[in-house]
Amino acid sequence: MTRENHKPTVLFVCVHNAGRSQMAAGFLREIAGDDVVVHSGGTQPADQVNPVAVAAMAEVGIDISTRVPDQLSPYTVQESDVVVTMGCGDDCPFYPGKRYEDWQLDDPAGQGIEAVRLIRDDIRARVEELVDSLRTPA
Residues taking part in catalysis: 14, 88, 92
Q: What is the 3-state secondary structure (H, E, C) of the chain?
A: CCECCECCEEEEEECCCCCHHHHHHHHHHHHHHHHCEEEEEECCCCCCCCHHHHHHHHHCCCCCCCCCCCECCHHHHHHCCEEEEECCHHHCCCCCCCEEEECCCCCCCCCCHHHHHHHHHHHHHHHHHHHHHHHCCC
Query: 3-state class of 48 per DSSP?
Result: coil
